[in-house]
Amino acid sequence: MAGKDTVKVKIEKVVKKYQGRSGEVVALNGVDLDIRENEFVCVVGPSGCGKSTLLNIIAGLQDATEGRVLVDGKEVEAPGRERGVVFQQYALFPWMTVRKNVEFGLKLQGMKGDELRATADKYIKMVDLEQFANAYPKELSGGMKQRVAIARAYAVNPQVLLMDEPFGALDAQTRTQLQTELIKTWEQEQKTCFFITHDVEEAIILAQRVVIMSARPGRIKEIVEINIPHPRTQETKMTKEFLDLKNYIWAQVYKEYLAIRK
């Protein structure tokens, strides 16, 4: 039965070990997490704690050494259409225009004609790039390229969106703009989102729950519920409720940074 409390993504006892040059690296050491349908989960934690590894395992791009990930109760074995991924470095096709980039995944799904055009238009508009529909990636700024990557991921309408520091390479202003767009989009069409960031503010403004990971070997240290109601805006960041959460989560993450430096 589908509903608000349905588990969409189930992460079960996931362990990931890499064979490095200087021996074995335990990147994830037993991660359990249930992500509910339509829930926006953000993950924060120090660099190297296994965030990207976890996302890649959910995406089916990497295998877990132990444990498993289930989407709708079905074990993930490979990438799938129901999971869309956005990386930090916008992976656009440089030889295709913005429109062609957004249409690409839709064509793979067999969409054509008016429907293809209208769907691409809708998502190009969502990220405010109507005037650049015929531009090539090299003509766009970093923020614009990342907008295209987001439009492309949304257009194919995946049930689950996996985003690995998608705004990490952008300047502060572009970043807040894209946050606002992402919040609005989620408010309009809720999706199950798994979003990695090292920015605590970004995590709180977007998420319904913030997952704090501990320093390597990565585990879930704590999960903080963000009960700030939607609609949220950049002004939400000035409220006491927000600032209290920010101080609390930042302190927890900082302890993990210190653990690495020891």
Ligand X SMILES: Nc1ncnc2c1ncn2[C@@H]1O[C@H](COP(=O)(O)OP(=O)(O)O)[C@@H](O)[C@H]1O
By CB under 6 A, name the binding residues for ligand X. 18, 20, 25, 27, 47-53, 216
Whether the CA torsion 68, 74, 77, 78 is positive or negative: it is negative
Q: What is the largest CA-CA distance in the chain?
A: 59
Nearer to ligand X, 3 or 20 (CB): 20
Q: How far is the CB of 259 from ligand X (least distance, A)?
A: 13
What is the C-alpha to C-alpha distance for residues 180 and 63, in angstroms, rounded to an integer?
A: 34
Nearer to ligand X, 15 or 25 (CB): 25
Return all residues near 49 (Cβ < 8 A) that are at least 6 apart. 213, 214, 215, 216, 218, 256
What is the C-alpha to C-alpha distance for residues 166 and 178, in angstroms, rounded to an integer?
A: 10
Q: How far is the CB of 62 from ligand X (least distance, A)?
A: 8
Q: How far is the CB of 164 from Mg ion (least distance, A)?
A: 6
Residues that bind Mg ion (CB under 5 A): 51-52
Of 55, 57, 59, the residue nearest 81 (C-alpha): 59
50 binds, among ligand X, Mg ion, none (CB under 5 to 8 A by kind): ligand X
Residue nearest to Mg ion (CB): 52
- Would strands 192-196 and 40-44 be described as parallel, antiparallel, or unpaired? parallel
27 binds, among ligand X, Mg ion, none (CB under 5 to 8 A by kind): ligand X
Nearer to Mg ion, 46 or 143 (CB): 46
Nearer to ligand X, 49 or 149 (CB): 49
